């Protein structure tokens, strides 16, 4: 992490530690903000979870940190993250193909109010790492918390199609949803029990959705539906420079699946974008929306073949999101352009995720 990243994370930590309405001045920040801004702690109307937040902040806040020493800052942040009851830190060693969540990308929200008070930290996690997981301490059958978090981060949800709104149920739904494009119902892969190969969401839209979120209502409890992710940065490292060049420059014709019809049957777009200034790669891809045969351009065909061979390789690429994160009453927020994702065959017909796609800040 860069010094700038550390500083911004530190700011986000401080920002999220600020008291919520109804518990003003509940968090002590004297050592970080300086003695002239020493807080006055009020004991009025403090929720137990906020009292917990206060005690964690005070306990972690015993080290003098100078902005000029990044090692000191990193050590301080690790201490804060480990001490916080709202930031999850996994102690056990990970499995070989298990995605390791970077520091301060997993959170615990004991209730709605505390969960929403950390929205700036979620945004920071998405900005820095493209991923954020929130473990909720309560059931939320309408997925209202996920919608409220998105709104609090300054984002707006996208509609899924001309007939479907912001929320989309990812569950076994063999009857499908109505499509204006074909004038009858269409069944999405997300409504099947089958595998969903590597893709980004809404890759067939003129402006693909930038972020998406899952509210995990019922994970697959029979070992199927394993959610896997692959960083676009890693993808570009695994591809040849020639393929990266072609995928970043060629305009591909992309078919719009009928269940996501919004007025057009196909769009054009590049599959990769490399931001050399930021050192980041962005991707849009879904194998079954590309034409077959692809095009008359031999270089484009070769680059897509290399990409498909890499993603379809039996030894596999990417990592799975572990079950202790992808679990009931959790929300997973992702940058749809910085990761491909996939899922294995579903074994539990009750598996049920609720999805939202959104754009705007982070
Ligand atoms: Fe997806």
Shared-domain flag, residues 175 and 27: no
Residues 42 and 162 placed together within one structural domain of the fold: no
Separation of alpha carbons 86 and 73, rounded Å? 20
Distance 245 CA to ligand 1 centre (A): 25
Distance between Cα 293 and ligand 1 center (Å)? 24
Cα 16 to averaged position of ligand 1 atoms, centre (Å): 30
34 in any annotated domain: yes
**Contact predicate 105/127, CB 8 Å:** no
What's the gap in Å between 3 CA and the centre of ligand 1? 34
Is there a domain that residue 115 lies in? no
Residue 199 CA to ligand 1 centre (angstroms): 6
**Residue 114 Cα, ligand 1 centroid: separation in angstroms?**
29
Instruction: Tell me which of 84, 102, 118 is where a domain ends.
Output: 84
The pLDDT value given to residue 314: 76
What is the distance in A from the centroid of ligand 1 to the CA of 31? Answer: 44
Answer yes or no: is 297 within a domain: yes
Both 43 and 178 in a single domain? no
Residue whose C-alpha is closest to residue 200's, from 212, 214, 215: 212
User: Is residue 182 situated within a structural domain?
Assistant: yes
> Are the C-beta atoms of residues 155 and 161 closer than 8 Å to each other?
no
**How far apart are alpha carbons 105 and 101 in whole angstroms?**
6
Give the three-state DSSP class for 167. Answer: strand
Distance 5 CA to ligand 1 centre (A): 29
Q: Say if residue 188 is in the same domain as residue 65.
A: no
Cα of 341 from ligand 1 centre, angstroms? 6
Nearest to 211 by CA among 350, 326, 94, 358: 358
* Whether 72 and 161 share a structural domain: no
307 assigned to some structural domain: yes
Domain stops at, among 43, 60, 84: 84
Residue 219 lies in a domain: yes
- Give me the DSSP letters along 87-121: B----SPPPTTB--PPTT-EEEESSHHHHHHTHHH
pLDDT value of position 272: 97
Q: Is residue 18 part of a domain?
A: yes
Query: Whole-angstrom Cα distance, residue 269 to residue 207?
Result: 9
Can you give the pLDDT at residue 12? 41
Same domain, yes or no: 77 and 163: no
Task: Determine the distance separating the centroid of ligand 1 and the alpha carbon of 12, expressed in angstroms.
Answer: 29
Question: In 10 A of CB 361, how many CB atoms?
Answer: 11
Q: Does 180 reside within a domain?
A: yes
Domain boundary (33, 55, 84) is at 84
* Count: domains in the chain: 2
Tell whether 296 and 163 lie within a shared domain: yes
Q: Average pLDDT of each block of 10 consecutive residues along the chain (362 residues)?
A: 43 39 32 34 45 46 56 69 69 71 97 98 98 97 96 89 73 66 64 87 91 96 96 96 96 84 85 92 94 84 95 89 97 98 94 94 93
Co-location of 60 and 171 in the same domain: no
CATH of the domain at 313: 3.60.130.10
Same domain (yes/no): 65, 174: no
Residues 6+ apart with CB under 8 A from 133: 88, 101, 105, 106, 107, 321, 325, 330, 331, 332, 333
Amino acid 152: pLDDT: 97
Q: What is the pLDDT of residue 38?
A: 34
Range of the domain at 29: 1-84
């Amino acid at each position: 992490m860069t010094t700038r990243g550390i500083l911004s994370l530190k700011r986000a930590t401080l920002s999220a530690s600020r008291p919520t309405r109804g518990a003003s001045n509940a968090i002590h920040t004297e050592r970080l903000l300086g003695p002239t801004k020493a807080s006055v702690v009020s004991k009025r109307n403090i929720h137990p979870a906020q009292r917990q937040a206060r005690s964690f902040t005070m306990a972690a806040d015993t080290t003098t940190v100078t902005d000029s020493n990044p090692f000191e800052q990193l050590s301080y942040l690790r201490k804060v993250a480990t001490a916080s009851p709202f930031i999850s830190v996994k102690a056990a060693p990970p499995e070989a193909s298990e995605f390791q969540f970077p520091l301060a990308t997993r959170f615990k929200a004991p209730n709605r109010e505390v969960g929403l008070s950390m929205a700036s930290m979620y945004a920071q996690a998405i900005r820095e790492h493209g991923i954020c997981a929130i473990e909720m301490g309560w059931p939320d059958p309408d997925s209202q918390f996920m919608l409220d978090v998105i709104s609090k981060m300054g984002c707006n949800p996208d509609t899924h199609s001309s007939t479907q709104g912001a929320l989309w149920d990812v569950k076994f739904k063999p009857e499908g949803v109505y499509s204006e494009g074909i004038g009858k119902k269409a069944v999405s892969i997300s409504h099947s029990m089958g595998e969903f190969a590597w893709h980004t969401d809404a890759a067939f839209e003129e402006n693909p959705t930038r972020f998406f979120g899952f509210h995990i209502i019922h994970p697959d409890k029979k070992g199927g539906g394993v959610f896997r992710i692959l960083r676009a940065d890693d993808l570009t490292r695994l591809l040849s420079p020639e393929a990266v060049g072609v995928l970043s420059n060629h305009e591909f014709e992309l078919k719009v699946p009928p269940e996501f019809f919004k007025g057009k049957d196909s769009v054009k777009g590049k599959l990769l974008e490399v931001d050399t200034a930021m050192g980041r790669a962005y991707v849009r891809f879904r194998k079954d929306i590309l034409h077959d045969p692809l095009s008359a351009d031999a270089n484009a065909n070769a680059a897509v073949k290399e990409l498909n061979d890499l993603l379809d390789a039996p030894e596999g690429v990417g990592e799975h999101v572990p079950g202790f994160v992808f679990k009931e009453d959790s929300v997973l927020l992702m940058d749809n352009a910085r990761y491909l994702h996939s899922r294995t065959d579903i074994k539990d017909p009750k598996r049920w995720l609720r999805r939202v796609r959104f754009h705007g800040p982070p």
